[in-house]
Each structure stands twice: as C-alpha cells, then as structure tokens.
Amino acid sequence: MKRKKAVIALGGNAILRDDASALGQQKAIASSAEYLADLIEEGYELVITHGNGPQVGNLLLQQMAANSKNNPAMPLDTCGAMTEGAIGYWLQNALDNVLDRREINKKVAALVTQVEVSAKDPAFTNPSKPIGPFLSETEAQEEALRSGATFKEEAGRGWRKVVPSPLPISIRESSIIEELLEEGVVTIAAGGGGVPVVRNNEGDLQGIEAVIDKDFASQTLADLIDADLLIILTGVDYVYINYNKPNQTQLKDVTTNELMTYIDQGQFAAGSMLPKVSSAILFAENNPKRKAVITSLNHLSSAIHQGEGTWVSKEKKN
C-alpha cells in the first residue's frame, strides 16, 4: 500500500502563545505534538515545517544588546539557523516523547535546511519583511547610515529594519529528506522558511540577509518530494472572503482559479493569509491530482477525516 506523504506547515500559535520563554514554547509544542502524532499513527509520513518569526526577532534583540568588538552580533542567516535548530530540537523532543508514550515505533530528525534563492529575485531591490525592534526616526537614520540597512515606518509604532523576502527556487537537502522519509523518519525541515542561500560570483553557496516565507518554502519542499498533501495550519479553521465583515463567507472546496479571482479582488491580507493561499495554489497547480488544505491545528483531525477546512484543488471534485 502506498504510504501517504504530507508536508505540514505549523502556524505560529503551534509554537508561541502567551509565554515566550523556552519552557513556555516547549509546552505549546508538546501540545501541538499530540495532533501531529495522530496523523503519524494513521500512517502519514510527515515532513513538518514551522515558522520562527518571533523567535528570530527576539534573538536579534539579544544579539544587538550584547554586540561588542569581542562578542560581535551574528548575521541574520546565522540567527535563522540558530532558531531553526532550537525549534527543531523542541519539536523533535516533544514528538519523541509522545510517540514513545503511544508506543509508536518512529524516529524523528530535525534538519537545518538551506533554501536556495536567486540573487536576481526582485525582492532584493524592494526589501519588505520587517525584523528586529522598533526605532525612532533618528535611530533608524543613524543605523541606516552606519550599516546600509533599509528602514520603513509602521504607522504609529516606529521604524523597523526591512529585509528582502525572495521566493525559494530549490531546497538543498530535499533528497536527504526523501531518504529519511523512505526510512520512515518523521522529518522536521525548512524551519522559518529555511536558511536563505545564493550563489556568489565563484559559484559557491553563501548565506544572505533575507527571510523566506515559510509557506512558500513548504510548498516548494512538498513539490520536490512529491508529497500527496500540503497542510497549512493557521489561526482560523477556514479561509474566508470578506473576512470580519457582515457578509464574511468561509471557503470549503475551492479551485485554484477561484482563489486567484479572490486574490485579484484583494480578499487576502499580504502579511497573513495571502502567502498561505498562494502556496496552496502553487502546490495544486503543480500537482493536479493532489490537494492542499488550510485550517487550524485544532481542526486538523476533522479536516483530514470530515473534510473541514479549506481544500484547494486544480479542479472541482466530482
């Protein structure tokens, strides 16, 4: 029997809720691991991806606070790898524990993942992803002169550094991830969208200051390993049009063409639902016989068994 292969992208609430301490995040992850174990118990071969936005932001603050000649702050790509490793460890540990308790004979591995992007991606000429602390206009101007960084104002909150958010073109470790899945290993990969790398003039890969959207990285990985299902978890049970308006409507079974029409109407917020919807569209378009689902962690089981959540396919099911 063919094993069901799924890439599942965890939303931020699966990791960080109210308590940003290591213990608080580990407790949130331990709760999330129970939902993931349900799918593993049902025979899914899982690749788990996750965000790291709050974590890398906090780490950057710590790096800046301790920055000195003898203890220099680490660059963004390295901070991304550090948080990917930390969250990967927490997830691995939590899944090991729940699988052991359920007597499920599965191994778990977390893999720091390099995601290749193009140096010619237009995102590099239009940095848009905010990172780090809020600064006053004067502080932002001084830092821009010192480091060459780009800052943008968020109305009423101050100025923040912005970095490029290029699209992934390849995932260096995708073949390793496939091998792990073949061996039955639950694999945690592409955390925080992975560590962005580009080819330099000598043809070598090198890290770059950028942030890759984790949903696009998850979709790229799902394509590369020929996953049967892409599961994108977020804070709501369904994707909605006219969200938070009197005529709000939930989307259930929807085609990629329908979603693209809604995108043209401006139905999805650029910083939240739009990348999730766009990633689901790409996966379904690239794999016409396969589907993506967008739902919440709490509704994961009912999405799989009762078809709840927003299911995206290239064509309407019969």
Question: How many CB atoms neighbour CB 274 within 10 A?
Answer: 16
The band of 165, judged by pLDDT with boundaries at 50, 70 and 90, is very high
- Is-catalytic flag, 120? no
Out of 9-13, 115-119, 195-199, 289-293, least confident range: 9-13
The answer to whether residue 290 sits within a structural domain is yes
Asked whether residue 169 carries a pLDDT value surpassing 90, the answer given is yes
The answer to whether residue 110 sits within a structural domain is no
Give the count of domains, the chain.
Answer: 1
pLDDT in tens, 279-291: 999 999 998 889 9
5, 52, 53, 129: which is the annotated catalytic residue?
Answer: 129
Asked whether residue 13 carries a pLDDT value surpassing 80, the answer given is no
Between 1 and 217, the more confident residue is: 217
4, 13, 57, 58: which is the annotated catalytic residue?
Answer: 13
Out of 6-20, 43-57, 245-259, 283-297, least confident range: 6-20
The answer to whether residue 210 sits within a structural domain is no
80, 276, 291, 309: which is the annotated catalytic residue?
Answer: 276
Longest dimension (CA), the chain: 65
Spacing of C-alpha 211 from chain mean position: 10
- Is-catalytic flag, 291? no
At residue 283, the pLDDT reads: 97
Distances (CA, A) of 136 to 53, 57, 58, 126, 132: 22, 18, 19, 22, 13
Rounded average pLDDT over 257-261: 97
- Cα dihedral across residues 103, 106, 110, 115: positive or negative: negative
At residue 256, the pLDDT reads: 96
The band of 2, judged by pLDDT with boundaries at 50, 70 and 90, is low
Burial class of residue 228 in the structure, from the number of CB atoms within 10 Å of its CB (0-12 exposed, 13-18 middle, 19+ buried): middle
CATH number at residue 269: 3.40.1160.10
Q: Which residue has the tokens 């809720």?
A: 17
Decide if 251 contacts 276 (C-beta within 8 A): no
Identify the domain containing residue 269 by its residue range: 228-317
* pTM for the model: 0.91
The answer to whether residue 258 sits within a structural domain is yes
Rounded average pLDDT over 92-119: 97
Decide if 209 contacts 75 (C-beta within 8 A): yes
The answer to whether residue 49 sits within a structural domain is no
Cα–Cα distance, 309 to 307 (Å, whole number): 7
The answer to whether residue 264 sits within a structural domain is yes
5, 161, 214, 291: which is the annotated catalytic residue?
Answer: 214
- Is-catalytic flag, 129? yes
- Is-catalytic flag, 158? no
Asked whether residue 206 carries a pLDDT value surpassing 80, the answer given is yes
Between 16 and 81, the more confident residue is: 81
The answer to whether residue 202 sits within a structural domain is no
At residue 143, the pLDDT reads: 83
- Is-catalytic flag, 214? yes
Rounded average pLDDT over 175-200: 96
The answer to whether residue 189 sits within a structural domain is no
11, 12, 80, 309: which is the annotated catalytic residue?
Answer: 12
